[in-house]
Amino acid sequence: MKSDVQGTKVQCPFDGKLEMPGRCIACGQPTRGKKWQITTTNFLRNHKYIFKFPICDDCAEAQARYVNVKPINIISVIIVLLTIVSFLQPSVDLSPVLYNLGGAIWLSIVIAYTLWMNMKAWRENTAEVAERNSVLKSAVRFEKVEMPRKKQKGQAIIWFTSSQFARDFIRLNKGQVL
């Protein structure tokens, strides 16, 4: 678990539903019904919980515009390396010219797509978009979620980076600060 998270740690009863304040979880602006979905699991990772937190129009737009090219770049490097290795072990069923031509076409498609996505990310990921996306991704973190059982009440322990959102959340869900 992360212990370096700055923010407010909240504990509240949990019966399968949480009430959400009418402000953005990331920046605190009023919201108009847009939601940001967060998925978490219980301790044993055998139950999945989906929560929808309110976000403002600006944060929703920044989240929609943000292009994460890291996985694309990693996959592209793996594909290029595997293709180069396959050039070293050519197939015996095809002629070498056809084999090399197909590999060159494949490499050019992968490299072109990777370059296109990186250029798109460079255009779309302005400083404001990157900052809003970063704040949004770190705005909430679930530490513990338990559903109610026979003689045990359910509870949720959540970290919020926005203290104002945490105060409103505590008020709506009868929670407490830990």
- Give tens-digit pLDDT for 135-164: 999 999 998 888 888 888 889 999 999 989
Model pTM? 0.73
For 22, the token pair is 């009418």
Q: Where are the alpha helices (DSSP H) in 1-94?
A: 57-65, 70-88
pLDDT tens digit sequence for 29-81: 999 889 999 888 877 777 888 899 999 999 999 999 999 999 999 999 999 99
Average confidence (pLDDT) over 107-112: 96
Question: What pLDDT is recorded for position 5?
Answer: 53
- Spell 154-177 as b/e; 16+ CB within 10 A means b: ebbbbbbbbeebbbbbbeebebee
- Domain boundaries, given as residue ranges, for the chain: 8-65+127-177, 70-124
Q: How confident is the model at residue 15 (pLDDT cuts 50, 70, 90)?
A: confident
DSSP 30: B
Euclidean distance between CA atoms 21 and 18, whole angstroms: 10
Contact (CB, 8 A) for 80 and 112: no
Q: What whole-number distance in Å separates Cα of residue 39 and Cα of residue 49?
A: 6
Identify the pLDDT of residue 42: 74
Quote the pLDDT of residue 173: 92
pLDDT band at residue 87 using 50, 70 and 90 as cut-offs? confident
Which residue is it, tokens 């056809």? Answer: 98
User: pLDDT value at position 149?
Assistant: 83
